[in-house]
Amino acid sequence: MEKKFLDKVEKTLLAQKKEIISSLLSDKAEFNEIADGLEHSKDAVDYASDDMDRNLLEVLGSTELKRLRSIDSAISRIKQGKYGNCIKCGQTIPKSRLEAMPSALMCIECKSAEERKNR
């Protein structure tokens, strides 16, 4: 996976994360501080995640929480250099799928198997 693509994906993921947090906490002053930090420093991203883990879990609906979790996993996989490989079977996820859904952690086959299982 080329660096340029990964940078773009990471930006998209951070923006999505911010959007989710923002829609949940738009009325909280401390969020604005975190949100400002998100744009400027990497530490603020870590801080935001820590803060969410500690304080905000109850506020989050399970759908948002799931989305945030997959966004966070995708970001950490970028950092580990594993982004773009399916977490189940290890196969490379097609770039077109990643572009459509940057937080995708599984290839289409594994994802649909998973959804069938959960149904």
Question: Which residues are at the interface with Zn ion (CB under 5 A)?
Answer: 86, 88-89, 107, 110
Instruction: Tell me the two tokens of residue 57.
Output: 């879990």
Q: Write down the least CB distance from residue 89 to Zn ion, Å.
A: 3
Pick the closest to residue 65 from 74, 56, 77 (CA basis): 56
Q: How many C-beta atoms lie closer than 10 Å to residue 46's C-beta?
A: 11
Least Å from the CB of residue 106 to Zn ion: 5
CB of 70 to Zn ion, least distance (A): 15
**Closer Cβ to Zn ion, 28 or 77, answer by number:** 77
59/89 with CB nearer Zn ion: 89
Half-sphere exposure of 78 (CA within 13 A, CB side): 22
How far, in Å, CA of 80 to CA of 24, rounded? 29
Is the Cβ of residue 77 or residue 88 nearer to Zn ion in the bound state?
88
Phi-psi map region of 65: left, alpha, beta (phi>0 left; psi -120 to 50 alpha): alpha
CB of 34 to Zn ion, least distance (A): 34
Cβ proximity to Zn ion: between 88 and 97 the closer is 88
Q: What is the number of residues in the chain?
A: 119
